Amino acid sequence: MSGDEQELIAQLEAQERELIFGRFDNTDAWKLGCAMVAAASARALAITIDIRRHGHQLFHAALDGTTPDNDAWIERKVNVVNRFGASSYLVGRRLAAAGRELDAALGVEPVLFAPHGGAFPIRIAGVGVVGTVTVSGLPQSEDHAFVVEMISAFLAGRSG
């Protein structure tokens, strides 16, 4: 594994340790989702945004320029977070660093899982992963970065 790969994985792991919610309810999903739509619209991003808690879709928005294919990518990325308890990007980077693929050898059907950036776990302190915030439509590193940026801003606004 190269130094760049190690550094990226360490950065992704740090994000997951830092971006912890004290609670997350339907109103939080609405507020976060609306903030994400506003930011994406201001940047003219063609993305689909999806927020779930315990498999219950609490927020979904498909902005101009998206297609049903984005919804399919969201499902596959969410499956990765639900299965592995980590962001879809982190799982994908760990696999790539190990020279592995997400396949039957890991007990999954590849067509149902996408270890690509964009799905981030909603992790509650003292509880664990309870849901996902997911974006599809940009290159995987940008999908991931947008979700992390928006969760960071949401959490900062809650404590400030």
Whole-structure pTM value = 0.95
Domain boundaries, the chain: 3-159
53 forms beta bridges with 56, 131
Query: In angstroms, rounded to a whole number, what is the distance separating the alpha carbons of residues 2 and 29?
Result: 37
Residue 5 or 31, more confident: 31
Average confidence score pLDDT of the chain: 95
pLDDT given at position 118? 98
Quick: pLDDT tens for 105-114: 888 999 999 9
Quick one: CA torsion of 35, 70, 144, 36, rounded to 10 degrees?
0
Quick: pLDDT tens for 28-58: 999 999 999 999 999 999 999 999 999 999 9
Query: In angstroms, rounded to a whole number, what is the distance separating the alpha carbons of residues 83 and 12?
Result: 18
Query: In angstroms, rounded to a whole number, what is the distance separating the alpha carbons of residues 30 and 32?
Result: 6
| Residue 56 CB neighbours (<10 A) | 10
**What's the CATH superfamily of 3-159?**
Haem-degrading domain (3.30.450.150)
Whole-Å CA distances, 55 to 2, 76, 77 = 36, 13, 13
Angle, nearest 10°, between helix axes 140-159 and 88-97?
Answer: 130
